[in-house]
Amino acid sequence: MAKRSSKLVTGCVVTIIVIVAVIFVVGYPFRSSTALKISFITVTNDVALGFLATFVATNESNEEITFAGYAPQIKRQGIWSKLTSAGDITTLPAHTAGTFTIPAATNCEAWREPVLWVYDRASETEQIRSGVKANLYFNWLRASRGQWPHYYNNMGGVGYTAFSAEITNTPGK
């Protein structure tokens, strides 16, 4: 009798896991992580501000996107520098483009412009997945420091990073 009830419980648990997995996969919004394209336009030599690089950000999705450019990422001896400080926050409606200007990196072999972006309205599934992922990460950090776990609410949606193509500096500039 005990074997029969344990098989029933196991069967129910497996069925619930399969149903949750199907709902998760079917309900997952298949959004593109490459919906924002960053393209280099030109470098200008402003008398007051120095070398300025102009980029165009193109939203290729059907939804509004918010983005912020980082400081230029510099390549030295074949290694990219770490991402540092995001700049102004800009919103792009679906299927539109906008330009932005940053100080150009001139003291390196090559550089590129990284941009952090998110969909403005995260779906329920993205919010849940993001919340679980962020809570696991932050509580792992807390546990590694000897602190008790804490529940973090409203962690938001999924963030992405887009990069412009590599820009090579010409010698003498």
pLDDT on residue 45: 82
Residues 6+ apart with CB under 8 A from 54: 40, 41, 42, 43, 44, 99, 100, 101
Which two three-digit tokens encode residue 147? 């602190």
The yes-or-no verdict on residue 113 having pLDDT over 90 is yes
Q: How confident is the model at residue 31 (pLDDT cuts 50, 70, 90)?
A: low
Instruction: Report the predicted TM-score, pTM, of the whole model to 2 decimal places.
Output: 0.64
CATH of domain 31-120+159-173: 2.60.40.10
CA distance 6 to 142: 37
